[in-house]
Structure formats: structure tokens, C-alpha cells
Chains A and B, each alone.
Chain A
Amino acid sequence: MPTASDDGFVVFDRVQKSYDGETLVVKDLNLSIAKGEFLTMLGPSGSGKTTCLMMLAGFETATHGDILLDGKPINNIPPHKRGIGMVFQNYALFPHMTVAENLAFPLEVRKIGKSDRDAKVKRALDMVQMGAFGGRRPAQLSGGQQQRIALARALVFEPELVLMDEPLGALDKQLREHMQFEITRLAHELGITTVYVTHDQTEALTMSDNVAVFDDGRIQQLAPPDELYEAPQNSFVAQFIGENNTLEGTIKEIKGTEALVTLDGGEIIVAKPVNVSKPGERTRVSIRPERVEYNKDRLHADAHTLKAEVLEFIYMGDIFRTRLRVAGNDNFVIKTRNAPDQRRLTPGETIEIGWLPEDCRALDA
């Protein structure tokens, strides 16, 4: 759990939020975001991430706790005085204004002179490669183009903080990937602090400096993408980030960095204890599909092996995806690279699988 520190650019300090006075949507949130950082709030719907964003933007008030921006509490500052740029899920471009008018709007309300305004609008449009579209109406643009305009509008008044609420949700895959790159590039070029909300983990992993995984109104883990993927701190994060195989069992013994786990099928395996503490505790053992090996030659000498029955083999081009039954789990998936020496498994076949103990993490049940 990260704790609030006063040196962050954006700080959530023991923030709680309840809509109905009975249940907390956000429970004791502490978060510190450094200047220039690209932070993603990732989590399933209803996890509280959007509420946090809205509290930061000022559209929701925190029930308890402080939100600080650049060291100053902003709880009582209305949204229009916070100077935070925001990109909305459905772009929220004003349909009755042209693209240029949309961009000029934040400058107008800031009483910036006409010539200055025009220059800034032009620069912002060029920045998102939409210089030729100033005279169009939003409805005349494609989804990707609207997205660029929304981005330009959020940046045109040069805010230090930009919030993005699932901005790429409505785009198709290719465009989305392209925009992910564009957004990160711009954010880093301009050095703005970005808080990005998404439920798409790929997006989170590819774009962010840090990812805060939300569930049940709490941050489950705050970490850089690689750490999040490779070292999930609990079984929710392990499940939520990337593909993951779980085997249920009980802790038999913990010795330093190794734990012995008795699986429900009776086998005993070695795992790395993460948030388990004592023998007898229920645990979920998590193994990434690409870390499972069935080629005996490649298995570590002392690797522990389990018997597995092949249920399904799927050819996916660059990789093979094979579904197995392991220790009573029918959904045990392994991924193998399509290499010349890779064997293709056939359903019905029985094989031996194994992995390195450090890839096998014993997490909370």
C-alpha cells in the first residue's frame, strides 16, 4: 500500500467517497503522483477508478479526506477553476461549434486575445495532425479524428494536469493502438502529468509509468507495468493483469523464499510465497501461461513436474495456445512460441509440465 506523501504533484490523502451514505465507493484512498508522471487507474467497472478521476476533476466531492494539487487542497475549488485538462470517453466535443471553435473555447473563457488564441488553436491542431480540419463540425469527423480534437482541446490551454477517462474505448483496435502511442508521445513531449483511466490492461501496461490497479474501492497494487505483470502482489492483480493459471491448494510449509503447497489434487509443489504467511492457509498458486514448459529438454533439472492431459490445441500464428487439465483444473492454458523445433500437442495426449519455482507465486485465496 502506498502512503500519501506531501511531495507528489497530485496527492490523494485518505480519501473516501460514498454516494448513498451506506456504502463506500472509494475506501481510504492514498495516492501520490509525481510531476510529469503518466499514471493509469486500471480496474473493472465499479471499482472506483472513475469516481477518483471525477473527484480530482471536481465533478464529485470527496466524502472524507483531502485531494491536493501541487501542494494545495482543491476540495473546495470548483472544477472550472482547477485548470485541469480532461478528455472524455465520448470526446464531448460541442456539436454546435466547429473544431476551431471547440479549441478556442477554453481560451475564450480565459479571456485570451483573438490573435493569441488563433495561434494556440493552430498549434494545438498541428500537434495532433489535424491542421486542415479547423472549419469542420465534430459530426463530420471520424472517431479517431474526434479523439485527436478532444485531446487537442484538453491540451490547448496548457494545463499541467490532464485527466483521461477511457478516451480510446470507442475506437477500433488498430486506431486504438496508434492513439495509445500518440498520447504517450505527447504526454512525454509536453511533460504533462497524466491520469488515465481504463479497464483495458494492455492499454495500461503499454502507456503508463505507473499503474494503480483498483478493485472494491481500493488500490490493490501500484507499480510500474513490468512489476505489475511479473510480480503481482495478490491474486486479484494476478488474475486481472494478463492471462494467468491458478491452482488451488493449502500451504504445507514455508522456508524462506520457498513454500510447499499441497494442491487440492494431492500433489505437492514448490512456490514463491507472496502474501501467505503460515502453514495451513488456503492459497492460490499463480503461473503465467508462457512460463510453463513441457519440452523435457528445456525443463530445469530440478523443476517440479505435473501430469497434464491435453484438451485443446489452438494455432494462433505466432504462438500455440494449448488448454490442459492439470490437477483437476480444466482451464490450464499454456502458450508456446511457434518455433521450428516446437512440438504441436494433440488433444487426448498426456504430457508432463513444469516451471521454475520463482514463476510460481503463492497468493491469497
Chain B
Amino acid sequence: MSDATQTGPVLAADGRPLKRSLQRALRAQKMRALALIAPLLIFVLLTFVAPIADMLFRSVENSIVSDTLPRTVLALKDWDAKSGELPDESVFAAMAEDLKIAEAEKKHITLAIRLNYQTSGVSSLFRKTGRQVKKWDVPNDGPYMEKLLDVDDDWGSHELWRVIQTYSANYTPGYFLNAADMELGPDGVQQVDDSQKIYVMMFKRTMFLSIVITVSCIALGYPVAFLLASLPLRTSNMLMILVLLPFWTSLLVRTSSWKVLLQQQGVINDILVWIGLVDDANRLVMINNQFGTIVAMTHILLPFMILPLYSVMKTIPPSYVRASKSLGATNWTTFWRVYFPQSVPGIGAGSILVFILAIGYYITPELVGGTDGIFISNRIAFHISRSGNWGLGAALGSILLIVVLMLYWIYDKIVGIDNVSLG
């Protein structure tokens, strides 16, 4: 018991500060709680936090240049790329020496692939030079400027040396710039050529399609959730199974069935032609385009909208509706002024779920998206698993992550994250 007039820390019966006694008493409890969540904590750290940290790191990491060509990087420091002249012999000699060592360790092609992302042609240049340089007696049989130019004229490319110099730092904004359709040019940051601009447009399209998908999920899911929430439990359980059915079918099967339905020789077109609504020669194109992506993804993500909506609607007591009607409100006014505002947290939760899932989807757009229905995730997947440009893939992924976090933040500012309810 603390006395109101007492100053200083409150003491426990044994004379220790009460706060510390309390902490001690709670420590065992905290440790036990920590031990219980430890498996999950470790799991999340290993499978979620660590990969994201790794991705963020990779999107700027660039030590391969200075690791493989340490002498060249050092020698290039003083070269002025804007002078319009090639670097001097010392740089070429350093390059020859670096290449000879790298060739012996088979690292020069890996580097070439990295530099090739920035300027085409490095791959074959390094391969060709690698074959020659191993026969040389570096550093004794110079001058190397001549020798390298003998191997390939491309060594006289001003651009090549500029790129090596530009990307000699251990960390580079290069991947992020590439991900925003920009590059590090001779005069600093510049836009890439129009024929290579793709990522900004893809980001915009991903946003747009995700929003359309989220809105269609709301439009289709809201009435279903409303029905589920107002039906007696037994009926609603039956219907719930139908809602959850897509969860129990493989994603590929579901997507393929959309192909069967939507393609030009597919079920829907066949029916439309048979009814006579559509001419046989002008069958509708409903797949391998944005429409196909929107339809298939709305279907796949619908349960993620319905479930939170349902659980929120379930908690809205029917007496509100009755109260509103007894107060004189029509069915529409009752819905719009009383029911709908209370279901908004469900819409918020469902929209966040659907939008974030949609923004990162890639299998379905890949299969049914054609050319204008594919997402930025398809480019990320391409760079991770096909082109091998993990740095660019990581930068694109990081931007996507940042965009999602920003949207989340904006949502919190506008609607308030407390207003999200999963039931």
C-alpha cells in the first residue's frame, strides 16, 4: 500500500522496491510464455524475417565487382569517365591480372553475367578474353592495352569501363533504379530507353488489377456473406462448404477449369454461340488477357473476402435491423445507414487480405494472363528462377514490399487499422 505523501519508490514487504519485486514475480511467467511461443518465433525468424532481410540486402549488394576485379577497381578510381578517353595502361594491366586470377577460379563469367545486366556484350568479351589471358604471363608481357584490344575491340569501349567504374562500389542503387526503369548513366541517374521501359508500367498495372480484383471480390462476396450470416446455422454451414470448396481444390486445377470455361472454344463461348448471342466467327476472348486474370483471381481470392465479412456480419445483432425499422427506416435506409457501416471492418479486413494476396500472385496470371494480364510478380519470378538476376528480382520484391507497407500505412491513416476485424 502506498502512502499518498510518501516520496521515492514504493517498497515491498521485504524492503525491495515494489517494481523490482513485481518484475521478479512475473519473470518466470514471462519466460514460460516465451518458451511456448519460441517454436513459432524461431520459425518466423527463419522462414520470414531472414529471407526478407536477405532480399533487402541482395537488392543493393554488389561486392562481386570489387571482389573479382580488386586491382582494376582501384586503378579506375582516378579515371574520369567524362574525359572521353580510355583509361591508361595501368588500368588495362590491372584488368589483365584480375582476369587471370578470376579465370583460374572460374569467377570471371559470373562477373560477366553481372555486368551484362548493365551493358550487353560483356559475357562473350570476358569468355573470349578468359581463354586468352590464361596463356599470358601476367604481369610481365605487357603492354596490356594493346593485348586486350587485340583480343577484342570491345575493350576499347568507353561504355564498358564506365560501367565497371560505376558499379565498383560494394553497394549499388543500380538494381532499384533498374526496377524503376532507370539506370546509372554517364551523367548520373537517367531513364532507360523507351523500348525497355516495363517495370513502372507493370507496377501500375499490378496495382490496378489488384484493386479491380478487390472491388469485384467485395461486389460478389458481400451478398454471399450477408446471406450466410442471415441464414440459419445449418443452411449457412452447407453454403459455407461451397464457399470453401475452392480452397480444397488445387490452384492449377481451378485455373485450368477457367481455361476450359473461358477459352474461345470453351464452354461459355459454345453456349453463347449455340444460343445465338455470339457469332461463331467472333467468339469472345475471355482468357489470356486481363479479363481472364480478373475472373480467375477473383474466384480464387473470394473466400478471403467472404470469411472476414461473414464473421463480422455474424456479430451484428439482428436487433439493430429491427430497431432501425421500428424507428421508421426503410429496408434500404436500414441497410445503408445501420447495417453497412457496421460491416465496414469486415470489408476492410477482406480488402487488405485480398489486395495483398493479389498483388503478390503470379501462378494464375502466368497461366491465364496472356500479355496484358500479368503482374509484377511474374517478372520477379522470372528474374529469380529463370534469368538469374536475383538483384533485380530482390529490388522489385523490395519495392513491392514497400508499396504494400505504404498502402497499409495509408489505410491505417484513413480508415484506422483498429477498424479491421477478422471476426
A-side residues, CB < 8 A to B, are 57-59, 78-86, 88-90, 92-96, 105-106, 109-110, 153-154, 157, 163
Q: Is the CB of B326 within 8 A of A79?
A: yes
Range of interface residues on B (Cβ < 8 Å): 10 to 19
Q: Contacts of A85 on B, CB cut-off 8 Å?
A: 326-327
| Given A88-B319, A109-B333, A95-B325 contact (CB < 8 Å) | no
Q: Is the CB of B326 within 8 A of A86?
A: yes
Q: Is the CB of B326 within 8 A of A105?
A: no
Stretch of B143-151, B279-287, B335-343 lying at the A interface: B335-343
Q: Give the residue among A80, A90, A106, A153 with the most B Cβ atoms within 10 A.
A: A80
Known: A82-B326, A92-B319; 18 extra A-B contacts, CB below 8 A, are: A57-B322, A59-B322, A80-B327, A80-B331, A81-B328, A84-B326, A85-B327, A88-B323, A89-B319, A90-B317, A90-B319, A92-B323, A94-B324, A94-B338, A109-B327, A109-B328, A109-B330, A110-B328
**A79 CA / B334 CA spacing, docked (Å):** 12
CB distance from A139 to the nearest CB of B (A): 13
> Among B319, B330, B342, which residue has its beta carbon within 8 angstroms of that of A80?
B330
Q: Is the CB of A83 within 8 A of B328?
A: yes
Residue of B with least CB distance to A83: B328
Q: Is the CB of B320 within 8 A of A79?
A: no
**A93 CA / B327 CA spacing, docked (Å):** 11
- What is the total of A-B residue contacts with beta carbons within 8 Å? 66
Of all A-B residue pairs in the complex, the 8 with the closest CB atoms, nearest first, are A106-B327, A92-B323, A86-B326, A92-B319, A79-B325, A96-B341, A109-B329, A80-B325
Q: Is the CB of B327 within 8 A of A57?
A: no
Q: Is the CB of B323 within 8 A of A86?
A: yes
Residue of A with least CB distance to B327: A106
Which residues of B in the span 383-423 have a Cβ within 8 Å of any Cβ on A? none
Q: Contacts of B342 on A, CB cut-off 8 Å?
A: 94-96
Q: Contacts of B317 on A, CB cut-off 8 Å?
A: 90, 92
**A88 CA / B330 CA spacing, docked (Å):** 19
> Among B322, B330, B331, B337, which residue has its beta carbon within 8 angstroms of that of A105?
B337
Q: Contacts of A95 on B, CB cut-off 8 Å?
A: 342
**A86 CA / B321 CA spacing, docked (Å):** 12
**A105 CA / B327 CA spacing, docked (Å):** 8
Q: Give the residue among A58, A83, A92, A153 with the most B Cβ atoms within 10 A.
A: A92
Q: Give the residue among A93, A94, A110 with the most B Cβ atoms within 10 A.
A: A94
| Given A92-B317, A94-B338, A95-B342, A157-B328 contact (CB < 8 Å) | yes
Please name 21 pairs of A and B residues whose Cβ atoms are closer than 8 Å in the assembled complex, sorted by A: A57-B322, A78-B325, A79-B322, A79-B326, A80-B325, A80-B326, A80-B328, A80-B329, A81-B328, A88-B322, A89-B319, A90-B317, A90-B319, A92-B317, A92-B320, A96-B342, A105-B327, A105-B329, A106-B327, A109-B327, A110-B328
CB distance from B421 to the nearest CB of A (A): 12
CB distance from A225 to the nearest CB of B (A): 27
**A81 CA / B327 CA spacing, docked (Å):** 9
Residue of A with least CB distance to B341: A96
Residue of B with least CB distance to A85: B326
CB distance from A156 to the nearest CB of B (A): 9
Residue of B with least CB distance to A106: B327
Q: Give the residue among B319, B326, B334 with the most A Cβ atoms within 10 A.
A: B326
CB distance from B248 to the nearest CB of A (A): 34
Give per-residue flags for B234-255: 1 if the beta carbon is below 8 A from chain A beta carbons, else 0.
0000000000000000000000
**A88 CA / B320 CA spacing, docked (Å):** 9
Q: Is the CB of A94 within 8 A of B330?
A: no
CB distance from A231 to the nearest CB of B (A): 36
CB distance from B224 to the nearest CB of A (A): 23
Residue of B with least CB distance to A103: B327
CB distance from B345 to the nearest CB of A (A): 10
| Given A109-B329, A110-B328, A86-B322 contact (CB < 8 Å) | yes
**A110 CA / B328 CA spacing, docked (Å):** 7
Residue of B with least CB distance to A153: B327
Q: Contacts of B328 on A, CB cut-off 8 Å?
A: 80-81, 83, 106, 109-110, 157
Q: Contacts of A86 on B, CB cut-off 8 Å?
A: 322-323, 326-327
Q: Is the CB of A157 within 8 A of B323?
A: no
**A83 CA / B326 CA spacing, docked (Å):** 7
Which residues of B in the span 42-94 have a Cβ within 8 Å of any Cβ on A? none
Q: Contacts of B333 on A, CB cut-off 8 Å?
A: 109
Give per-residue flags for B346-361: 1 if the beta carbon is below 8 A from chain A beta carbons, else 0.
0000000000000000
Q: Contacts of B330 on A, CB cut-off 8 Å?
A: 80, 109
Q: Contacts of A58 on B, CB cut-off 8 Å?
A: 325
**A107 CA / B322 CA spacing, docked (Å):** 16
**A110 CA / B326 CA spacing, docked (Å):** 12
**A85 CA / B328 CA spacing, docked (Å):** 9
**A106 CA / B320 CA spacing, docked (Å):** 13
Q: Is the CB of B324 within 8 A of A105?
A: yes
Q: Is the CB of A92 within 8 A of B322?
A: yes
**A70 CA / B342 CA spacing, docked (Å):** 36
**A85 CA / B323 CA spacing, docked (Å):** 9
**A241 CA / B196 CA spacing, docked (Å):** 88
**A157 CA / B329 CA spacing, docked (Å):** 12
Residue of B with least CB distance to A86: B326
Q: Contacts of B325 on A, CB cut-off 8 Å?
A: 58-59, 78-80
CB distance from B89 to the nearest CB of A (A): 78
**A183 CA / B341 CA spacing, docked (Å):** 31
**A106 CA / B328 CA spacing, docked (Å):** 6
**A89 CA / B331 CA spacing, docked (Å):** 22
CB distance from B326 to the nearest CB of A (A): 4
**A105 CA / B321 CA spacing, docked (Å):** 13
Q: Contacts of A93 on B, CB cut-off 8 Å?
A: 323
**A59 CA / B321 CA spacing, docked (Å):** 10
CB distance from B287 to the nearest CB of A (A): 42
CB distance from B337 to the nearest CB of A (A): 7
